[in-house]
Amino acid sequence: MPYRILISFLFVFVFSLTNSNESEYLKDFYESGKTKSEGWLVDGNKAGYWKFYYENGKTSEQGHYKHNRREKYWYFYSPNRIRIKEGNYLDGEMTSWWLFYDNEGRINHKCQLNNGKKNGYCLNYENEELVSAEKFQNGNKIKEWFNFVDFQREIKLSDLK
């Protein structure tokens, strides 16, 4: 019986050594002493939730990392805390729908992105009203609409998902 306990203990000990992920919470500071960034490092790489700050203490951006690459949903702000843009990252690249804001914090345009390039539709707004739409392929504009009757006739609603 003691032999089994010793074997079990050794197995758990060796397994924990080979599969250990060193993690630490890192907080970086400006020379002024104010927080510059904070988040988790796992095996020396940014992982999990991170937050970055302007020197005035306001949040500049926040989101998740995985293996030192941006992942999931991110938010970006101006120094006076107005949202600039927000959207998804996959493997460090902007993807899916992104929202971009004007200086008043109103949506300026929404774009579908893939690998950081416009790929799909962009909807452009002025004073929160849709004024035009564009279609992109690999970052190149291939069509633009100012007449929404034509836009609605030519696209499938599923294209805007």
**What are 63-88's pLDDT values in tens digits?**
999 999 999 999 999 999 999 999 99
**What pLDDT, in 10s, does the model give residues 1-22?**
454 443 444 343 433 433 457 8
* Total residue count of the chain as it appears in this document: 161
Residue 64, domain extent: 22-160
User: pLDDT at residue 103 above 80?
Assistant: yes
CATH number of the domain encompassing residue 31: 3.90.930.1
- Quickly list H helices, 19-158: 148-154
Please indicate, yes or no, if residue 12 is contained in any of the structural domains: no
Domain total of the chain: 1
Coil, helix or strand at residue 32: coil
Helix (H) or strand (E) holding 13: helix 2-18
Nearest-angstrom CA–CA distance, 128 and 102? 10
**What pLDDT, in 10s, does the model give residues 106-160?**
999 999 999 999 999 999 999 888 999 999 999 999 999 998 888 888 887 777 7
